[in-house]
Structure 1
Amino acid sequence: MAENNIVWKKTQGIVLRLFLLLSALTVLLPLLWVLNSSLKTNAEFFADPWSLPASPQWINYYNAWFSSKFYLYFMNSFLVVAGALVLVLLMASTSAFALSRFRFMGSKIMGFVYTAGMMIPSILLLVPLFFQAQALHMTNSLTGIIIIYAVLQVPFTLFLLSGFFKAIPHSLMEASVLDGASYYQMFIRVALPLVKPGIVIAAIVNVINFWNEYPIAITFISEEEKFTIPIGISFLSTAMQYRTDYGALFAGLTIAMLPVLVLYGFFQKQLQDGMSMGSGVKG
Structure 2
Amino acid sequence: MTVTSPSSAPASTRPRPGTRTPPRKPKPAPTARGFSPMRLLGMLFVWLFTALNVLILYWLATAMFKTPLEIFNKPFHLPFTWFERGDPFYNLRYAWESAGFGNAFVVTVVLVAVSSVVIVLISAPAAYALTRLGVRGSNPLTSFIAIGMGIPFQTLVIPLFIGMSDLGLTNSLFGMFLVYVALSLPFTVFLLTGFFKSLPDELEEAAAIDGASPFRTFFTVMLPLARGGLITALILNAIGLWNETLLAIVFLTDNANFTLARALFTLYGAASYQSEYGGLIAGVAIVVLPMLVLYLLLARRIITGLTLGAGK
Q: Report % sequence identity.
A: 36
Contact 2:65 2:278 in 1 (8 A): yes
Worse-matched range after superposition: 143-152 or 265-274: 265-274
Pick the aligned partner of 2:116 from 57, 75, 85: 85
Which stretch has the larger CA shift, 13-22 or 28-37?
Answer: 13-22
Matched, 1:44 2:75: no
1:243 aligns with 2:258: no
Partner in structure 1 of residue 214 of structure 2: 183
Aligned partners of 2:304 and 2:50: how far apart in 1?
21
The corresponding residue for 2:9 is none
**Which residue of structure 1 lines up, in the alignment, with residue 4 of structure 2?**
none
- AA at the equivalent of 2:292: L
Separation of aligned partners in 1, 2:223 and 2:48 = 39
Which structure 2 residue ranges, 5 or more long, are not aligned? Answer: 1-27
More RCO (CA 8 Å, sep 6+): 1
Pairing partner for 2:52 from 22, 26, 40: 26
Residue of structure 2 aligned with 1:62, choices 65, 90, 93: 93
Q: 1:103: which partner in 2? A: 134
Q: TM-score, normalized by length of structure 2?
A: 0.83
Flag structure 1 segments of 5+ consecutive residues without an equivalent: none
Whole-angstrom CA distance in 1 between matches of 2:108 and 2:79: 30
Q: Supply the RMSD in Å over aligned alpha carbons.
A: 2.1
1:220 is matched with 251
Q: CA deviation at 1:178?
A: 1.3
Hey, what's the Cα distance between the residues in 1 that align with 2:114 and 2:208?
33
Counterpart in the other structure of 1:276? 307
CA shift, 1:212, in A, is: 0.8
Displacement of 1:6: 4.9
Task: Give the Å deviation of 1:33.
Answer: 1.0
| Alignment correspondent of 2:238 | 207
* Residues 167 and 6 (structure 1), Cα distance of their counterparts in 2 relative to 1, 3 Å cut: closer
Which residues of 2 match residues 109-258 of structure 1 at below 5 A?
109-258=140-289
The structure with the largest alpha-carbon Rg is 2
1:186 is paired with a residue whose SS is: helix
Summarize deviations over 1:252-278 as a string: whole Å, max 9, x none. 111111221121122222113213322
- Tell me, in whole angstroms, the C-alpha distance in 2 between the residues paired with 1:50 and 1:265: 24
Identify the range of structure 1 (211-220 vs 268-277) with the bigger mean alpha-carbon deviation: 268-277
